[in-house]
């Protein structure tokens, strides 16, 4: 039986609390950056629970976070930054925006994360940073990244767009590197619609990013709307316009309180998938050492199967899927020789993301399993 409604790849959780939180902000008249945003930053810092404290600045996207991180670290013309080829456009585009050169790197077969040994071979005297991406919510080998960074004196900016709540050996992603950026885009584990955040143990870096996020005006800028504020402000640098507003922050505060439960549900869905899905599919790496938050559930289909036929077959049965990611080196803008990326080349035709969001019901999960197994064979 084909279900009546379409089961999407992802869907944000919307409850009465999110609606009430936005309504409260609308009625308050304080719509832009203000106390709600500061409250979100404080609660998110507490959530990261770093020893010694971690500082945060909320932004309008993870992309802004990555871009402003590069600027705050002084990375620009003549510099090179290593990024995985298996990622979204944002991770590499920001490097070019900053005037530097993105150097694409191949990935590990089992986790789809950047291969740090291959990254080492790409280091030159111009390399200034590496941007590991925790694909699907499974952490990169951050010990290897940290020793690479120390040995070659380069910065580490983590693209944790998929990894809010992910733990690396018991430590939450967000307090391991120079700067970590999160995404609160509509499909992400903590969703606001659009939104992001940069986290660092270095308060000066976060204050630099905060200043760059609002025209280069010092952090007292938003107080000018409050009774205690003054009209005076000074533009100290050529900043941008990447601040988060209060409506998004209010949704984020509600979602943050639900985040652990939502992540646990994603893990339970992943466990059910792994139990029920055909053995002809290959799953990506998970391990008891870390806490995988399953932003995505990518599978590798048998190399003998045609992916587009499977995608169409699933769509005809009202199941949404997608591909994460078409490697950057295959896109027109980044086009590079395939030989440099043997693993990404080999895995790309086989990868498929299945529906994964915390409000999926047990019936939804069974429906996906039954239909995939029919199409893939067991």
Give contact residues for ligand PLP (rule: CB under 6 A). Answer: 61-63, 87-88, 90-91, 133, 159, 161-162, 183, 185, 196
CB of 248 to ligand PLP, least distance (A): 11
CB-nearer residue toward ligand PLP: 199 or 376: 199
Q: State the catalytic residue, choosing from 172, 188, 201, 208.
A: 188
Contacts of 278 (CB under 8 A, 6+ apart): 372, 373, 376, 377, 378
- Contact (CB, 8 A) for 70 and 95: yes
Q: Is 188 a catalytic residue?
A: yes
- Contact (CB, 8 A) for 92 and 83: yes
CB of 213 to ligand PLP, least distance (A): 13
CB of 184 to ligand PLP, least distance (A): 6
Contacts of 363 (CB under 8 A, 6+ apart): none
CB-nearer residue toward ligand PLP: 40 or 367: 40
**Which of 117, 107, 110 lies closest to 84, judged by CA?**
107
CB-nearer residue toward ligand PLP: 60 or 371: 60
CB of 212 to ligand PLP, least distance (A): 16
Region of 169 please: left (phi>0), alpha (psi -120 to 50) or beta. Answer: left
Distance, in Å, from the CA atom of 95 to the CA atom of 220, rounded to the nearest integer, reads 29
CB-nearer residue toward ligand PLP: 86 or 291: 86
CB-nearer residue toward ligand PLP: 34 or 65: 65
**Burial (CB count <10 Å: 0-12, 13-18, 19+), residue 270:** buried
CB of 98 to ligand PLP, least distance (A): 15
Contacts of 103 (CB under 8 A, 6+ apart): 80, 81, 82, 83, 122, 127
Q: Which residues are catalytic?
A: 188
């Amino acid at each position: 039986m084909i279900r009546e409604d379409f089961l999407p790849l992802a869907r944000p959780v919307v409850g009465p609390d999110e609606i009430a939180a936005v309504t409260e902000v609308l009625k308050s008249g304080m719509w832009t950056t203000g106390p709600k945003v500061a409250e979100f930053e404080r609660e998110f810092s507490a959530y990261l629970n770093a020893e010694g404290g971690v500082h945060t600045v909320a932004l309008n996207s993870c992309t802004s976070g990555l871009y402003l991180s590069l600027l705050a670290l002084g990375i620009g013309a003549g510099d090179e930054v290593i990024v995985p080829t298996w990622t979204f456009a944002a991770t590499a585009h920001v490097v070019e925006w900053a005037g530097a050169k993105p150097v694409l790197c191949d990935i590990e077969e089992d986790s789809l994360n950047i291969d740090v040994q291959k990254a080492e071979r790409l280091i030159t005297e111009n390399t200034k940073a590496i941007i590991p991406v925790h694909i699907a919510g499974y952490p990169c080998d951050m010990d290897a990244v940290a020793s690479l960074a120390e040995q070659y004196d380069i910065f580490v900016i983590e693209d944790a767009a998929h990894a809010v709540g992910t733990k690396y050996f018991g430590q939450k992603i967000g307090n391991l590197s120079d700067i970590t950026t999160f995404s609160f885009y509509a499909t992400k584990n903590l969703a606001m619609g659009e939104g992001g955040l940069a986290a660092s143990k270095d308060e000066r870096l976060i204050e630099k990013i905060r200043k760059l996020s609002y025209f280069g005006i010092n952090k007292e800028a938003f107080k000018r709307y409050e009774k205690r504020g003054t009209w005076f402000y000074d533009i100290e640098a050529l900043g941008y316009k990447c601040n988060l507003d209060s409506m998004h922050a209010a949704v984020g505060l509600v979602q943050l309180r639900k985040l652990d439960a939502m992540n646990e549900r994603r893990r339970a869905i992943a466990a059910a998938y792994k139990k029920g899905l055909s053995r002809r599919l290959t799953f990506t790496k998970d391990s008891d050492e870390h806490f995988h938050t399953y932003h995505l559930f990518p599978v590798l289909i048998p190399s003998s199967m045609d992916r587009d036929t499977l995608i169409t077959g699933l769509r005809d049965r009202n199941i949404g899927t997608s591909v994460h990611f078409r490697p950057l080196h295959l896109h027109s803008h980044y086009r590079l020789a395939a030989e440099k990326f043997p693993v990404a080349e080999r895995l790309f035709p086989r990868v498929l993301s299945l529906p994964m969001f915390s409000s999926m019901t047990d019936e939804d999960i069974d429906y996906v399993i039954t239909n995939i197994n029919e199409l893939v064979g067991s």
